[in-house]
């Protein structure tokens, strides 16, 4: 599917709903879309709803979204009202299902809102590119109810689309609270129906909650070869033999390679097959989250897992995503608790971690031997580490498949290398949506911005290279430039890294720098592609032309091609801004830009007003002050760098910041200095 076709498909989904809100009437296509979606979601809980009830519910939902767009401050109240009304309506015909109905309504509405938010964000990105507005016009023109008014509502439609994402985000935040209300009721009765509802609603919460950074979208997922190994693990876990004890599945990958989406994909596939699946982002907690999910104290979890296994005939699959997102001090406790589940048939642990942390963090390595006894598979990584699977970059074929799903052309050349990292391909897609093309690697400013900017859509930001991590990377690149080499022994930058192990792990895991074990020790090198942009990033921060030229000359030893990306010119020294003095007194006020030379201030005896002689040019200040001496009182001199004040032997003297100065002697003055002469004349620098 091409980009335009993909965009049009997205418009067709959201246009009826947006048009309904814009015209203030629930249009049949919008009601039909919402009804079909809710019917499918309710059926996952084995709840059937008749057509009339579905239409009524759909109209309520659309009306409530319209109200929330218009009254965003009341979004939570309106969201709660529509939830309660739908819950009560379904309970009229499904009273025996009780808590299942509450969870089903929360689950269905959450997923509906999430899908609408995702589609609307995509549409808004396109609407910003004016050339694609024609697709929106086509979409609403196909609806007979809107056709006659489509000129009138087009502007309002754009406004509605712009407001929907934030409105829906508010609704999802309410549903996060609602989840904590409805979910615990399911844990009180571990029936097969409740267990399935627990799995579905908890995974939906993990996938869509604002607290998580998952946002998994099955439509964009590209299948990985490692899935086969995982599903063999599932088969081994569910066979009847009791001898199988390797119930821990470890997924390692560098940052941005897609380990979270891999876990989310296999978890969602297992949900479809009826497995009890639970998904935790470890960065948001472990022990307390497990106690909430299973409704009991941690020490009782073995009993709960056994009960679920008995009820469903399948072990609990516990997905623990992102051990690297946990502070180093908390990792040992989590690993001890994971090991305590080792070898048990009632529970399977699926754990993910960033490769560099698993290999280098001593708090992890000290537990790896105990964990390896229960580890499924045996992919060796480095000298000591073993994992069940090690996720790698996309192949050319996988990049092609992903681009087809995104509806964008396949990148070529250097950009193809970039696109092999799933996170970078996503960034390229977002750039393409916004600009109608990919960033140009041959355009130094543009591509360096794509890598290093503080915008959310840069490689640095997506990889967490911010603040201290950014500063650390900057210092390391400076070290490379100073050395004139594209690789350095790790020991030579140890003093730069210091104790900031987390920032160092982020940098290495991003792939911007490479680390390799060799016979004589560990070596760090610049990535062949990204290296020149990182060097140019550092050089671009230097303001002094001579220093910039010197740094560029050193850098060219590492990356000669930078001469094609940036032209080092001798910049003319910027003109130093001239100081300004403000002279105020009775009857006048004058602002003067001070040139190099002298300004003499005195009273013109003939006119009775003060004058300033600026390098021979007389300026009447209009100030009357008999206390200022005739023809000579004060001289202000500027040599191009420093200002000086001198009293020229005046009768009443001169004060600087309240202190009288010695006649005929120059006193250096600076910004914000106050000079007083005569009775009431003040000069401010």
pLDDT of 369 reads 87
The answer to whether the beta carbons of residues 37 and 74 sit under 8 Å apart is no
Q: What is the mean pLDDT of residues 653-664?
A: 92
Question: How is residue 544 written in tokens?
Answer: 């002094």
Sign of CA dihedral 57, 59, 65, 71: negative
Assigned token pair, 223 = 């299948």
Q: What does the alpha-carbon distance between residue 13 and residue 29 come to, in Å, rounded to a whole number?
A: 9
Answer whether residue 41 shows pLDDT above 60: yes
Choose the weakest-confidence range: 6-15, 264-273, 644-653. Answer: 6-15
**CA-CA distance, 685 to 682, in Å (whole number)?**
10
Bridge partners, 656 (sequence order) = 659, 675
Question: Whose CA is closest to 167, among 62, 57, 31, 42?
Answer: 62
Residue 508: pLDDT over 70: yes
3-state secondary structure at position 543 = coil
Res. 500: pLDDT tops 50: yes
Say yes or no to pLDDT of 572 above 70.
Answer: no
Highest mean pLDDT, choosing among 121-125, 576-580, 622-626 = 622-626
- Share the mean pLDDT of the chain: 87
Confidence of residue 310 (pLDDT cuts 50, 70, 90): very high
Alpha-carbon separation of residue 636 from 140, 580, 604, 611 (angstroms):
73, 11, 18, 13
pLDDT recorded at residue 445: 84
In this prediction, residue 488 has a pLDDT band, given cuts at 50, 70 and 90, of: very high
Residue percentage of the chain with pLDDT more than 90: 58
Q: What is the mean pLDDT of residues 594-620?
A: 90
Task: Please report, for residues 130, 242, 373, 447, the alpha-carbon distance to residue 474 in angstroms, rounded to integers and kept in the order given.
Answer: 38, 54, 41, 17
Q: How far is CA 479 from CA 120, 185, 502, in A?
A: 46, 58, 20
Q: What is the pLDDT of residue 150?
A: 46
Distance, in Å, from the CA atom of 18 to the CA atom of 155, rounded to the nearest integer, reads 12
How far apart, in whole angstroms, are the C-alpha atoms of residue 375 and residue 608?
Answer: 99
Q: Is the pLDDT of residue 492 over 50?
A: yes
pLDDT band at 439 (very low <50, low <70, confident <90, very high): very high
pLDDT of residue 631: 87
Strand partners, 518: 521
Q: How does DSSP classify residue 594?
A: P
State the pLDDT at residue 517.
86
Share of the chain above pLDDT 70, in %: 89
Q: Which of 262-276, 359-373, 663-677 has the highest mean pLDDT?
A: 262-276
Mean pLDDT of 416-441: 91
Question: Using one digit for the tens of pLDDT, what is the confidence trace for 348-393?
Answer: 999 999 999 999 999 899 998 899 999 998 899 877 789 999 999 9
Asked if residue 153 has pLDDT above 70, the reply is no
pLDDT at 563 over 90: no
- Residue 40: exposure state from Cβ atoms within 10 A (0-12, 13-18, ≥19): exposed
Question: In the sheet where 487-489 sits, what is the strand order?
Answer: 487-489, 521-526, 513-518
pLDDT of residue 131: 45
Q: Is the pLDDT of residue 136 over 60?
A: no
**Residue-level pLDDT at 576:** 61
The residue among 422, 426, 421, 423 whose CA lies nearest residue 406 is: 426
Residue 258 pLDDT = 93
Q: Distances in Å between the alpha carbon of 337 and those of 88, 222, 477?
A: 42, 33, 40
pLDDT band at 4 (very low <50, low <70, confident <90, very high): low
Span 590-605, average pLDDT: 90
Mean pLDDT value of segment 507-513: 93
Whole-angstrom distance, CA of residue 488 vs CA of residue 428: 31
- Considering only residues 300 and 120, tell me which one the structure prediction assigns the higher pLDDT: 300
H or E element that contains 385? strand 385-387
**Mean pLDDT, rounded, for 294-309:** 94
Task: Return the higher-pLDDT residue of 296 and 8.
Answer: 296
Q: In the block, which residue shows the tokens 């005046």?
A: 650
Judged by average pLDDT, the poorest of 159-173, 201-215, 404-418, 648-662 is 201-215
Domains of the chain in sequence order: 3-200 (no CATH), 212-390 (3.40.50.300), 468-564 (1.10.10), 580-684 (2.60.200.20)
Predicted pLDDT at 487:
94
- pLDDT score at 93: 82
Quick one: pLDDT at residue 144? 47
188-242 confidence digits (pLDDT tens)? 999 999 999 999 999 999 988 766 665 788 888 999 999 999 999 999 998 876 5
Average the pLDDT over 268-280 and give the result. 96
End-to-end CA distance of the chain: 67
Give yes or no for a contact between 601 and 677, defined as CB atoms under 8 angstroms apart.
Answer: yes
pLDDT score at 616: 86
Query: Which of 48-52, 228-232, 541-545 is the most confident on average?
Result: 228-232
Tell me if 610 sits within 8 A of 625, measured CB to CB: yes
- Asked whether residue 323 carries a pLDDT value surpassing 90, the answer given is yes
Name the band, by pLDDT with cuts 50, 70 and 90, for residue 126: low
Query: With b meaning 16 or more CB within 10 Å and e meaning fewer, what string describes 555-577?
Result: bbebbeebeebbebeeeeeeeee
Tokens found for residue 548:
């910039």
The answer on pLDDT for 135 being more than 70 is no
């Amino acid at each position: 599917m091409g980009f335009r076709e993909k965009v049009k498909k997205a418009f067709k989904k959201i246009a009826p709903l947006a048009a309904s809100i814009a015209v203030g009437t629930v249009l049949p296509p919008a009601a039909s879309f919402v009804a079909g979606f809710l019917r499918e979601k309710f059926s996952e809980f084995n709840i059937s709803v008749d057509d009339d009830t579905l239409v009524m519910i759909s109209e309520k939902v659309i009306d409530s979204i319209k109200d929330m767009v218009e009254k965003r401050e009341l979004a939570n109240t309106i969201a709660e009202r529509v939830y309660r009304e739908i819950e009560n309506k379904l309970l009229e015909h499904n009273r025996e299902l009780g808590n299942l109905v509450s969870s089903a309504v929360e689950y269905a509405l959450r997923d509906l809102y999430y899908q609408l938010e995702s589609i609307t964000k995509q549409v808004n990105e396109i609407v910003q590119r004016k050339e694609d507005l024609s697709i929106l016009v086509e979409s609403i023109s196909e609806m007979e109810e809107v056709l006659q008014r489509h000129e009138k509502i087009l502007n309002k439609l754009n406004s509605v689309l712009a407001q929907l994402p934030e409105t829906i985000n508010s609704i999802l935040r309410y549903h996060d609270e609602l989840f904590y209300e409805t979910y615990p009721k399911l844990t009180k009765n571990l029936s097969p129906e409740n267990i399935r509802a627990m799995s579905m609603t908890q995974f939906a919460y993990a996938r869509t909650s604002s607290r998580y950074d998952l946002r998994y979208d099955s439509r964009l997922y590209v299948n990985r070869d490692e899935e086969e190994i995982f599903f063999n693990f599932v088969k081994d876990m569910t066979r009847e033999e009791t001898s199988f004890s390797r119930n821990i599945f470890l997924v390692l990958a560098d940052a941005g390679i897609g380990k979270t989406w891999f876990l989310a994909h296999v978890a969602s596939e297992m949900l479809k097959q009826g497995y009890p699946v639970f998904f935790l982002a470890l960065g948001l907690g472990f022990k307390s989250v497990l106690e909430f999910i299973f409704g009991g104290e941690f020490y009782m979890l073995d009993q709960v897992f056994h009960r679920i296994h008995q009820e469903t005939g399948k072990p609990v699959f516990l997905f623990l995503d992102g051990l690297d997102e946990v502070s180093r001090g908390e990792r040992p406790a989590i690993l001890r608790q994971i090991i305590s589940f080792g070898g048990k048939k009632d529970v399977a642990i699926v754990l993910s971690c960033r490769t560099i942390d698993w290999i280098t963090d001593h708090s992890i390595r000290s537990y790896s031997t105990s964990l390896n006894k229960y580890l499924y598979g045996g992919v060796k990584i480095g000298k000591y580490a073993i994992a069940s699977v090690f996720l790698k970059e996309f192949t050319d074929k996988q990049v092609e498949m992903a681009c087809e799903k995104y509806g964008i052309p396949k990148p070529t050349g250097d950009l193809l290398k970039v696109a092999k990292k799933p996170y970078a391909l996503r960034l390229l897609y977002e750039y393409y949506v916004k600009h109608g093309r990919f960033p140009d690697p041959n355009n130094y400013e543009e591509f360096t911005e794509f890598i290093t900017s503080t915008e959310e859509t840069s490689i640095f930001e997506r990889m967490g290279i911010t603040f201290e991590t950014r500063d650390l990377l900057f210092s390391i690149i400076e070290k490379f430039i100073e050395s004139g080499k594209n690789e350095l022994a790790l020991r030579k930058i140890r003093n730069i890294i210091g104790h900031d192990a987390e920032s160092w792990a982020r940098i290495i895991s991003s792939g911007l720098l490479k680390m390799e074990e060799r016979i004589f020790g560990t070596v760090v090198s610049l990535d062949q592609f990204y290296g020149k942009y990182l060097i140019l990033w550092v050089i671009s921060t230097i303001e002094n032309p001579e220093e910039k030229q010197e740094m560029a000359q050193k850098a060219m030893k590492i990356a000669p091609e930078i001469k094609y990306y940036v032209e080092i010119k001798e910049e003319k020294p910027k003109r130093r801004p001239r100081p300004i003095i403000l002279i105020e007194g009775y009857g006048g006020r004058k602002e003067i830009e001070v040139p190099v030379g002298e300004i003499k201030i005195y009273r013109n005896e003939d006119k009775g007003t003060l004058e300033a002689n600026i390098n021979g040019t007389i300026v009447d200040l209009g100030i009357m002050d008999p206390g200022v001496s005739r023809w000579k009182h004060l001289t202000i001199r500027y040599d191009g760098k420093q200002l000086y004040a001198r009293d020229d032997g005046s009768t009443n003297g001169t004060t600087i910041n309240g202190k009288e100065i010695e006649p005929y002697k120059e006193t250096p003055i600076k910004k914000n200095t106050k000079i007083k002469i005569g009775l009431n004349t003040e000069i401010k620098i």
